Amino acid sequence: MANLALFDLDHTLIPTDSDHEWGRFMVKKGMVDAENFARENDRFYADYKAGKLDIHAYLIAMLTPLAKYTRAQLADLHAQYMHEVITPAIQPVAIELVKQHREAGDLCCVVTATNEFITRPIAQAFGVDTLIACEMETVGGEPHGAYTGRPTGTPSYKEGKIVRTEMWLASLGKSWSDFEHSYFYSDSHNDIPLLEKVTDPIATNPDDTLRAHAQAKGWRILELFQPS
pLDDT value of position 228: 45
SS3 70: coil
Q: pTM for this one?
A: 0.95
Go through the domains of the chain in sequence order and give each one's CATH number: 4-222 (3.40.50.1000)
Q: How many residues does the chain have?
A: 228
Q: Is 8 one of the annotated active-site residues of the chain? A: yes
Helix residue spans in the chain (DSSP H): 18-28, 34-49, 55-63, 71-81, 92-103, 116-125, 159-171, 192-197, 208-217
Weakest mean pLDDT among 16-20, 135-139, 143-147, 207-211 = 143-147
Rg of the chain over Cα atoms, rounded to whole angstroms, equals 17
Burial class (CB in 10 A: 0-12, 13-18, 19+), 23: buried
Please say whether the beta carbons of 113 and 134 come within 8 A.
Answer: yes
Active site residue 10: yes
What tens digit of pLDDT does each residue of 161-183 get?
999 999 999 999 999 999 999 99
Q: Hey, what amino acid is at 65? A: P
User: Edge-to-edge strand order for the sheet containing 4-7?
Assistant: 146-152, 131-139, 107-115, 4-7, 182-186, 200-204, 220-222
Chain mean position to CA 7: 8
Mean pLDDT of 178-201: 98
Please pick, among 10, 17, 19, 191, the residue that the annotation labels catalytic. Answer: 10
Per-residue pLDDT tens for 97-138?
A: 999 999 999 999 999 999 999 999 999 999 999 999 999 999
